[in-house]
Structure formats: C-alpha cells, structure tokens
Chains A and B, each alone.
Chain A
Amino acid sequence: MSTESTVVTGNQRIAKWSVNISIVFLCLWVLVPIYLLIANTFSSPAEVNAFPKRIYPSFDTESVRFFMNFYGVGSALWNSFKVACLTMIMSIAVGAPAGYALSRFEFRGKNTFRVLVLMTRAFPLPLLALPLAVMFIKVGLDDTVLGLAIVHTVLALPFAVLITFSLFSGVPVELEEAAWTLGCNRLQAFIKVIFPLVLPGIAASAIFAFVISWNEVFAAAVLTIEHRTLPAFLLQSLDDAPLHLKFAGGAVLVVPALIFIFMVRKYLFSMWGIANR
C-alpha cells in the first residue's frame, strides 16, 4: 500500500463504502434470482412446493430429467441454437458494414439513417406479426429456422449497427490511412489493421445478437409451429405445467445464455472501454 492510501479522509471513506455497498447490492440483484432458479431446479417437486424453503437444494435431478426427456425439448433447444447462431452471423454480416460506413463516410441522410435504425425497435412486433406470417407462408419461409433468424436479425440489427459504429469510430482513422500509405488498399487495411482491433467488440456485439435471438419469444411463437425455439416451446407447453417443471425450463433457458456471456466476458469488458492491451 502506498502512503497516500493510508491517509483516507472521511469523504473518501464514505465514497468507498457506498461503492462497496452498491457492488454488493448489484451482485445480489443478479445472483439471488439465479440462485433461486437453480436451487428450485435441483429440488424434488415436493420441496419446490413446500414452505419454509431449505437453503441448500437436495440436488434432486428428477425435474430436470423429466424436463429433458419431455418430448420436443431437445429439438427446441437445437432449433434455438441454430436460429441464434444464424442471427448472430447475419446481424454482424449486415450490421458491421453499416457501422463502418456510418463511422467513416459522410453521406446525405446519415443522421436520419441512424435514427431510422433505432426506430425499427420502436415498431411493435405484434402489429407486424400477421402480415409477416402471411408473407412468409407465401414465400415458403414459414416455420423455418432461416425465416425466424431473419426476423431476429431485424431485431438485433440496430444494436449491431450502433455498437459496431462506435467500435469503428474508436479506431483512429490515421491507423487506416497509415496502412494505405504503407501499401494497403481499403480492404487490406481493413483486414490487417481495423479488423484485429475491433474483433473483441465484434465478438461482443455478436454475442449480444445471439442472446437477443435466444430470448425472443413473440416472433418465435407466431412464425413457427413444428420447429419451435425453446422460449416459444416453453411458452406453449409450460403454461399449465407444475411449478417445478417451470423452474427446470427456466434454468435450461438461462444457463446456456449465462455460460455464453461468461465465456466472452473479456470481450464485453473491452467493448465497454476497459482496455485489455
């Protein structure tokens, strides 16, 4: 410890404590529901409905086993995964070039475009659902993984565009220009200089798209029948199911997203400006 930090004034102490308390509060805010979810998932059906609760679950896997063996869960999980991956790929493939263009070029209607990108989020999906379903049936995209992924891409795109816009804006244009003067054309400069620098952020925004798709339930419920994603499937099947099965379903929905975000947390940090050089 340095000498400065041993001399702490009253104000600093208060500031330090309020930071600590906030941290504890935020952690509890996130962790308690997850804990309850997991704990109830690994409790026997009787314990779930009992009162008072035990602090430790009994690690009874009956609910989970029952749920996993429930007809359709496996394929719904697989569908969700496929749709989310496709959404991730498409939203970056379309969103990143748009973000790059927004950050590097001046063109007419640039600001309008930026606002419009956000406006797509303001448009209520239920209003769009019926015409969309009709159109999908006409084209033959109804009840397909691709069709749903396209809709999810539209939902994830505004975030992909705006996140990559700020990523590219964060890379000084001089780096690109230096690459040009050193023998690169635009594409080479992008691949050799810009892309490595924004890769962490791109990964983070891809994960974001993945999670948006993974959690989306409305479009999934309207546009699929046979090939339901997990949230749509759960909405349909668990409505009348007993409580312990609802917990098991919730856990199956939450845990993959958690693991995924945990795996890319480093990139999420770098996206929020905590540099990892």
Chain B
Amino acid sequence: MAQITIKQVAKQFGKTHALHSIDLTVADKEFLVLLGASGCGKTTLLRIVAGLETATTGEVWIGDRRVDKLAPKDRGIAMVFQNYAVFPHLTVYENIAFGLRMSKVAESEIDKRVKRTAGLMHIDQLLQRYSGQLSGGQRQRVAVSRALATEPDVILMDEPLSNLDALLRMEMRTELKSILAESDTTTIYVTHDQVEAMSMADRIAIMHEGNIVQATSPVEVYRNPATRFVGSFIGNPPMNFLQAKNLGDGWFDVCGARMQGPRHDASELELAVRPEDINSTDSHGEGDWQGIVKVVEPLGSHLQVTCVVSDQQCRVVMDSDVIVKPGDTVNLAPVAERVRWYDANGDRVQ
C-alpha cells in the first residue's frame, strides 16, 4: 500500500511563497499528474515528496509512514529527472543495477531485474554502453529502467519527456503509460504539457501560483473547469470567455442574445464555452450569436474559425467541409449544457 498523503504542505523560499498549504491525497497505484505553468510550484511539491526539498510546514505520508523527516533513500521512492541524470561513469547495466546494489540485492537477482526492466524499456541491446554513447531517448529509457528496477512503492517523474522531440515524446508517452499501469507503483508525474497530462493521468492536479486549483479526472477537468484559470489553461484552442450582463432571475445578456444561466447577484458574469461546443447553424434561434468571421485556419480534421461577436473574440471549431471565409456572418449556437459560468474572481458559478 503506497497511498501518498500531503497535509498542509507549504514552502517558502526567503520571502516568496512557492507553495501555500497544499492538501493532496494520491491513491495506491494511482497515476497523478501535477500540471501547471512553469513557476507554479509543481516541481517543488514533487521534490518535497522525494525528500530533495524540505517543506517549511506540513506533513508528507507514504502509506502509513510519515516521511517528511526521512532522507530520500528511506522513503521507498524512485525519481526520474528531466535531464535523465544517467551516471556517465557507469554502463547502462550498472546504472540500472545501482539502486539494487545499494540495497544489497543478491547478484543473481540484480541480473534478473536489470534484464527484465531493460527488456521492458527496449534497451537490452545497450547494456554495456555508456551514457555518452546514447541518444536522448535512450538515456530517458535508462532513467526509467533504473527507477523501475528498484520496484519502488512510489515513482516520481519530473517532466521526464520534455527534453525529447515531439514524435519520440508521443511514443514514450504511450509506452510509459502502459508500463506504469502494469506495475504496482503509485506515480506522481510533473508536466507543463496538457496533452501529456490529459493522455496519461488517472487524475490531474492543476497548480496555479502555489495552490492546487482542481484535482480530478482528465475529462472532468476539461468539461468542468473549477476556475477560469483551469478553463483557459486546458484545451487547445483555449476556451472562449464572453461577458454576460445579469438581467435578473437567472437570465443573461450575452453578445445580444438572451441566455439562461445561474441565479446570481453580480451585475456581470463570464460565460465560458469550448470552441467545439459551438455549432454554426443556418437558422437563427433564441440564444444564438451573430459572428463575423475574422480568420479561418484549416487544420485537416477541422477548421478553426476565429469570429468577432459583439466586439469580443470567439473561436469556433467547424467541420472541414463547411465553406466559410473572412467577412462572412455566421450564426453561432452554443450547446447549452456545455456552457459554464464564472464570477469576477474566476470561480465557477453553478
């Protein structure tokens, strides 16, 4: 059992607060992704769990052991670093065997486990090479094998794929996901790449300015962003945000259309809708917007169309077969059950 519990962990570097009282539980065998822009504190949080950084306040538990006072080696973790950190003076074989030798595993068992994990990561042909003779992707495989070989309760990954080129990254993403799903480890994976997060995670924890703003399944994060920030951070093209004047009784004026929303006191809210949740229709219905096409970007599978609706910008995804050109007026019908509302603080209103 390796459930990770982070209790009110805060971290200060001098006068800057890197983390504000983080509470987070990662279930046994769960794959949790910490997602956020650079400088949001996600790596700091990971390093606190690893023991490479000490929290200013708070507790970290792995299983039923409190670990925040323990050295990294006593926490039952393994870590994969962004720059791989493959030991240059050791062969691939010795790199993978390193952790096993430290825990005094028998030589025959070391050999077995090195060959097994190397086979898993398809580097069994490279065991006698040195890190200088490997490509970036191969080094990454060595780093992952090395972490897996010790059969840790917890694997911590700090942007492990961000130094790889796009194609390799996609390949490794799939491979890592399947290998980690088969192992019994709990994984915390740090990334700033939302595609990586969405595609790999059981659960995504989105961090912003030292806080976790939402921690839930990838689809939930995408469909129901807890804050305006999450909505704008996840999704490409980003979510549309449009001003909504409160008319009272749960009715709003959005870009000249009357729309039903939540009952709220504020004179103004913001309506949020994803570009693919807006249909362009031929007939004008109630609650539809009139948009003027500014830019059309054909992306093969679909068109990304940027429109202006009452002086506000709104992106719409259309089918590639639709014939549309800049200057055209289009009728836009947002899908009512996919529309979300946010207040002036950026919090969701329901």
Contact = CB atoms under 8 A, between A and B. Distances in A.
Contacts of B81: 174, 177-178
B89 A197 contact: yes
B238 interface: no
Contact of A182 (B78, B89, B130): B78
A185 interface: yes
A74 B186 CA distance: 69
Contact of A172 (B51, B73, B85): B85
Interface residues of A, number: 19
A107 to B, nearest CB: 14
Given A182-B99, A183-B103, A196 B79 contact: no
Interface in A240-277: 275, 277
Interface in B80-128: 81-83, 85, 87-89, 98-99, 102-103
B89 A177 contact: no
Given A174-B81, A277-B132, A181 B73 contact: yes
B168 interface: no
Interface residues of B, number: 26
A236 B284 CA distance: 109
Nearest to A193: B87
A181 B78 contact: yes
Contact of A175 (B85, B132, B156): B85
B89 A181 contact: no
Contacts of A277: 88, 130, 132
B73 A183 contact: yes
Nearest to A196: B89
Contact of A180 (B52, B82, B103, B146): B52
B72 A181 contact: yes
Interface in B116-150: 130, 132, 143, 146, 150
Nearest to A275: B132
A188 interface: yes
B50 interface: yes
A172 B88 CA distance: 11
A76 to B, nearest CB: 41
Contacts of B85: 172, 174-175, 177-178
Contacts of B78: 181-182
A252 to B, nearest CB: 39
Nearest to B156: A181
Contacts of B52: 177, 180-181
A180 B87 contact: no
B71 interface: yes
B88 A197 contact: yes
Given A185-B71, A185-B73, A196-B89, A178 B102 contact: no
Contacts of B130: 277
A80 B149 CA distance: 52
Contact of A183 (B50, B88, B150, B156): B150
B77 A175 contact: no
A219 B132 CA distance: 46
Nearest to B52: A177
Contacts of A178: 79, 81, 85, 87, 143, 146
Contacts of A179: 87, 98
Contacts of A193: 87, 89
Contacts of B88: 175, 197, 277
A68 interface: no
**Best-surrounded residue of B51, B52, B77 (most CB of chain A within 10 A):** B52
Contacts of B83: 172, 174
Contacts of A177: 50, 52, 72, 79, 81, 85
A182 B103 CA distance: 9
Interface in A189-213: 192-193, 196-197
A184 interface: yes
A183 B79 CA distance: 11
A14 to B, nearest CB: 34
Contact of B102 (A172, A174, A184, A275): A184
Contacts of A188: 102
Contact of B99 (A172, A174, A183, A196): A183
Contacts of B72: 177, 180-181
A192 B72 CA distance: 16
A180 B89 contact: no
Interface in B143-178: 143, 146, 150, 156
**Best-surrounded residue of B78, B87, B130, B156 (most CB of chain A within 10 A):** B87
A257 B51 CA distance: 47
**Best-surrounded residue of A180, A182, A197 (most CB of chain B within 10 A):** A182
A182 B73 contact: yes
Contacts of B77: 181
A182 B87 CA distance: 12
Contacts of B50: 177, 181
B73 A180 contact: yes
Interface in A115-173: 172
Given A175-B85, A180-B52, 17 more contacts: A174-B82, A177-B72, A178-B79, A178-B85, A178-B87, A178-B143, A178-B146, A181-B73, A181-B77, A182-B73, A182-B98, A182-B99, A182-B146, A182-B150, A183-B103, A184-B73, A185-B73
Interface of B: 50-52, 71-73, 77-79, 81-83, 85, 87-89, 98-99, 102-103, 130, 132, 143, 146, 150, 156
6 contacts: A174-B83, A180-B51, A181-B51, A182-B98, A277-B130, A277-B132
Please name the 6 residue pairs, one residue from A and one from B, whose CB atoms are nearest each other, closest first.
A183-B102, A182-B99, A174-B85, A178-B85, A277-B132, A180-B72
